[in-house]
Amino acid sequence: MKNIASILASNFKRWGVNDVFGIIGKPLVPIFVELDKHDINVVLSKHENGAGYEAAGYSLMNKRLGVAIGTSGPGGTNLITSAGQAKAYHIPVLFITGQPSMHNSGKAQGQDSTIFGTDLVKLFEPVTKFSVRVERADQFEIYLQHALEKAYSDVKGPVHLSIPFDVLEDEIEEFELNLPNNMDKLISPRLDEFINKLDNARKPVILAGKGIHSSLAYEEIKGLAEVWNIPVMTTPGGKGTFIENHPLSLGALGLGGTEKSSEYIKEDIDLMIVIGSKLSDMSLVDITSDNYPKEVVHLDYDTTFIKKSLNVPTLTIIGDIKENLKSVLDKVKRRTKNKYNLLEENCEIKKLENDTNSYISAAYAMEIIRKGLPDDAVVFGDDGSHSFYAIRNFNIRKPGTFFFDDVFGAMGHAIGYSIGAQLANYNSRIVCITGDGCTFMQGTEISTAANYNIPVTFIIFNNGRLDMPEKYMMKCFGKTVGTNYNVPLDGKKFGESLGVKSFRCCNELELKEALEISNLHKEAILIEVIVDPNEIPPTMKRR
């Protein structure tokens, strides 16, 4: 017989979960004690929200379960935003929240998370695939099994267990569970129809979305494009799924998209192959009823948004993206790859000069960053203008090396994601591209990287304002309200106060030198880039 906290820690260990992220509180003491006994590293985050982001980045990078823990009441509510972000990314994260002892339920208790206080089970329901309170020890095994199955079935995602203090200490027969890794991969019965449409298309295009990251279908997308000689554009969230120095790459479509994609989509497309995308407004800013494709083939595991955004005849291919595309390619494997049409090379960004040495163009800074990083550096783009500059100007040379969310869009999430990802794969090269607004929200997590010697490079684009809303308000209303910081971030001093080597870069030379130092990859480094506050970001097309 062992207590539930011990059984939980033992299962973490056998699943290869060697790092757990969170902040302790009294109801969680039994778990933290057992994690220590099982030699599982407890990463003390600076905020529960950061813990959730770090757990998600950890899962995304090592393809294992991420675990984030927060205490009852506000500890749990602080995790909710990171759960919503994990759901948007389709990442299996187990969120565990504490609760005062169950035998006192119904009495007045501090930080009560039941129906008598802040009901965390209900609060987590919209942002997870499964949320439940374990009220008795004999429920624990089956509830944990349900949670794992939900996290890994169909579209992956986060789950939540609320476990009271006395339940954690209760003893039951020890058990072992396996992470679901052999879930049935649904193959569509309509692949022959898909092939027929590919064979007969005159002007097709592939729109690659974020779901390709989840299914790891990078080679299959490349094969599909090359066999049928189809140009590829990515959604903002699909950035990084297809290399952009490939002759068939058009770059990104939508916010931050390239002119090449924007112009190509106007050219009477007869077949658009949408892969792993909800087709959000951020992806479709260049598409109107005047230039709808004549037909769509939509590959995804989730039918919720299929046919909702583009009102055209649509062939739906439901199931695992990678397996369906492999099946398509297997059916035509005797065909030789087409000699694809060479598209024009991407043009370099022209350096924008300014009269002072006080800032640099954000677009040009992104080009410098691309040149200064190795091809296999993994970039997490935060939500803001900075990432849309990257979507347009940061050329992808290896698939699976750029991650950005264009659905939930929590500012500051990339800071935690990059920390968790770097911890999961210590020898990888992880870079976070963020902004001053995001740093104000989640920047203290940079201290977590310093505390545990996690060598992430944090690049902060600083122009003293919330850039996207400021430029949008100015365009639409001729004035701005609530977008500028009267006392702007001093990123270098902020980073130094957190124990991180920090640089302030106002010109090309300073940025290149800082990147060279960061490439030594021995410690966490903060690079603050002072960018032109009046530069217009590539986000003005959104209606």
What's the confidence (pLDDT) of residue 8? 97
pLDDT tens digits along 51-71: 999 999 999 999 999 999 999
For residue 353, pLDDT over 50 is answered with no
Structure tokens at 198: 């590919």
> What is the mean pLDDT of the segment spanning 91-100?
95
Q: Are 248 and 343 in contact (CB under 8 A)?
A: yes
What's the confidence (pLDDT) of residue 182? 58
How many angstroms separate the CA atoms of 247 and 231, rounded?
8
pTM: 0.92
Query: Which of 36-50, 92-106, 115-129, 451-465 shows the lowest mean pLDDT across its residues?
Result: 92-106
What's the confidence (pLDDT) of residue 340? 55
CATH number, span 2-172: 3.40.50.970
For residue 349, pLDDT over 50 is answered with no
pLDDT tens digits along 386-444: 999 999 999 999 999 999 998 899 999 999 999 999 999 998 999 999 999 999 999 99
Average pLDDT over the chain, rounded to whole? Answer: 91
Structure tokens at 499: 């124990």
The residue written with tokens 């991407």 in the block is: 346
In angstroms, the Cα distances linking 122 to 40, 67, 272, 424 are: 30, 20, 39, 31
> What is the mean pLDDT of the segment spanning 282-302?
89
Beta strand ranges found along 165-261 (DSSP E): 171-172, 204-208, 232-234, 249-252
Strand-pairing partners, residue 3, are 171
How many angstroms separate the CA atoms of 476 and 362, rounded?
23
What amino acid occupies position 23? I
Q: Does domain 362-530 have CATH number 3.40.50.970?
A: yes
pLDDT tens digits along 241-263: 999 999 999 999 988 899 999 99
Structure tokens at 271: 């077949």
pLDDT tens digits along 97-147: 998 876 666 666 666 777 777 899 999 999 999 999 999 999 999 999 999
> Where do you find CATH 3.40.50.970 in the chain?
2-172, 362-530
For residue 350, pLDDT over 70 is answered with no
How many angstroms separate the CA atoms of 476 and 124, rounded?
36
Cα atoms in the Cβ-side hemisphere of radius 13 Å centred on 281 = 7
Burial of 189 from C-beta contacts in 10 A (0-12 / 13-18 / 19+): exposed
How many angstroms separate the CA atoms of 232 and 205, rounded?
6
Q: What is the band of 346 on the pLDDT scale with cuts at 50, 70, 90?
A: very low
Q: Which CATH superfamily is domain 191-331 in?
A: TPP-binding domain (3.40.50.1220)
Structure tokens at 54: 């770090």
Concatenated DSSP letters of 116-164: TS--HHHHHGGGSS-EEE--SGGGHHHHHHHHHHHHHSSS---EEEEEE
How many angstroms separate the CA atoms of 261 and 284, rounded?
11
How many angstroms separate the CA atoms of 356 and 4, rounded?
63
The residue written with tokens 């032109």 in the block is: 532
Query: Which of 235-239, 300-304, 483-487, 520-524 shows the lowest mean pLDDT across its residues?
Result: 300-304
CA dihedral 418, 422, 424, 429 (to 10 degrees): 120
> What is the mean pLDDT of the segment spanning 230-243?
96
Query: Which of 89-93, 154-158, 184-188 shows the lowest mean pLDDT across its residues?
Result: 184-188
What's the confidence (pLDDT) of residue 343? 47
Q: Rounded to 5 degrees, what are φ and ψ at 250? A: -100, -5
Query: Does residue 265 sit in helix, strand or coil?
Result: coil
What's the confidence (pLDDT) of residue 406? 87
For residue 364, pLDDT over 60 is answered with yes
**Orientation angle between helical segments 218-228 and 321-331, nearest 10 degrees:** 40
For residue 339, pLDDT over 80 is answered with no
What's the confidence (pLDDT) of residue 365? 96
The residue written with tokens 């690079």 in the block is: 527
Query: Which of 17-31, 266-280, 355-369, 445-459 shows the lowest mean pLDDT across its residues?
Result: 355-369
What's the confidence (pLDDT) of residue 107? 60
How are strands ordered across the β-sheet holding 457-462? 402-403, 378-381, 430-435, 457-462, 525-530, 501-505
How many angstroms separate the CA atoms of 450 and 498, rounded?
7
Query: Which of 68-82, 249-263, 343-357, 377-391 shows the lowest mean pLDDT across its residues?
Result: 343-357
For residue 183, pLDDT over 80 is answered with no
